[in-house]
């Protein structure tokens, strides 16, 4: 989670929601939904963002990731949040400057853009990169809207 004030970004929090791998998938998805709902109620974000899922060689892993992503989108939508969805190459380009960036480059740039951030795990940098991308896209859209209003005046 980040805060965007103008073009300045500030780290608010990052973490992981873990579920017990021995539980049946429906129970794990429910626990994910409930935990994310608690985070949304506690932090009261203005919006949410998610990375689009790309298929990989393990169809079962891709399917489970897609199901978890669906639960995340549902929790955000139920809270009335505006949700941005971004292709991984768009996130990499927004944060690093190239759509083919490696994970270590993303981690380095997240650390640069959010000084002092302590990452909760290997996927935290990716999640924060998606949040940064969303903040940039929202700021650009707002600036374009202001310019269109000024042009009409």
Could you tell me if residue 135 is inside a domain?
Answer: yes
Could you tell me if residue 5 is inside a domain?
Answer: no
Could you tell me if residue 3 is inside a domain?
Answer: no
Res 146 pLDDT > 70: no
Q: What is the mean pLDDT of residues 123-131?
A: 95
Of 62, 84, 63, 67, nearest in space to 31 by CA: 67
Query: Is residue 92 within 8 Å of residue 106, measured between CB atoms?
Result: yes
Per the model's pLDDT, the better-predicted residue between 57 and 89 turns out to be: 89
Q: What percent of the chain has pLDDT over 90?
A: 76
Query: Cα dihedral angle (87, 93, 98, 99), rounded to 10 degrees?
Result: 0
The span from the CA of 118 to the CA of 121, in Å, is 9
Q: Please tell me which residue in 51, 85, 102, 150 is annotated as part of the active site.
A: 51
Q: Is 126 a catalytic residue?
A: no
In the structure encoding, which two tokens stand for residue 114, read together?
């959010």
Could you tell me if residue 141 is inside a domain?
Answer: yes
Could you tell me if residue 1 is inside a domain?
Answer: no
Q: What is the mean pLDDT of residues 124-140?
A: 92
Per the model's pLDDT, the better-predicted residue between 53 and 10 turns out to be: 10
Q: Is 51 a catalytic residue?
A: yes
Q: What is the mean pLDDT of residues 126-147?
A: 84
Instruction: Please indicate if the annotation marks 51 as binding a ligand.
Output: yes
Instruction: Please indicate if the annotation marks 150 as binding a ligand.
Output: no
In the structure encoding, which two tokens stand for residue 116, read together?
């002092």
Could you tell me if residue 25 is inside a domain?
Answer: yes
Binning pLDDT at 50, 70 and 90, where does residue 141 land? confident
Could you tell me if residue 41 is inside a domain?
Answer: yes
pLDDT, mean over the chain: 91
In the structure encoding, which two tokens stand for residue 31, read together?
């626990």
Q: Please tell me which residue in 38, 46, 102, 123 is annotated as part of the active site.
A: 123
Query: Cα dihedral angle (137, 142, 147, 152), rounded to 10 degrees?
Result: 130
pLDDT number for residue 92: 96
Q: What is the CATH number of the domain that holds 117?
A: 3.30.420.10
In the structure encoding, which two tokens stand for residue 7, read together?
């073009």
Res 149 pLDDT > 60: no
153: number of Cβ within 10 Å: 5
Q: What is the DSSP string of 90-106?
A: HHHHHHTSSTT--HHHH
pLDDT digits (tens, 9 = 90+) for 76-115: 999 999 999 999 999 999 999 999 999 999 999 999 999 9
Q: Give the three-class secondary structure for 4.
A: strand
Q: Which domain holds residue 113?
A: 10-152
Q: Which residues of 39-64 are buried (b: 16+ CB within 10 A; e: fewer)?
A: bbeeeebeebbbbebeeeeeeeeeee
**Pairing state between β 82-86 and 2-5:** unpaired
Per the model's pLDDT, the better-predicted residue between 138 and 33 turns out to be: 33
Domain count, the chain: 1
DSSP single-letter state for residue 108: H
Res 64 pLDDT > 80: yes
């Amino acid at each position: 989670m980040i805060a965007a004030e103008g073009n300045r970004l500030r780290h608010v929090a990052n973490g992981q929601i873990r579920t017990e791998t021995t539980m049946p998938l429906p129970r794990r998805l429910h626990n994910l939904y409930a935990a994310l709902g608690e985070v949304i109620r506690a932090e009261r974000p203005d919006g949410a963002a998610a990375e689009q899922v790309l298929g990989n060689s393990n169809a079962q892993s891709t399917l489970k990731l897609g199901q978890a992503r669906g639960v995340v989108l549902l929790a955000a939508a139920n809270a009335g949040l505006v949700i941005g969805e971004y292709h991984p190459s768009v996130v990499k380009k927004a944060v690093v400057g190239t759509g083919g960036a490696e994970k270590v480059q993303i981690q380095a740039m997240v650390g640069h853009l959010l000084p002092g951030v302590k990452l909760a795990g290997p996927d935290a940098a990716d999640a924060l990169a998606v949040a940064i991308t969303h903040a940039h896209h929202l700021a650009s859209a707002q600036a374009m809207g202001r310019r269109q209003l000024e042009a009409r005046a």
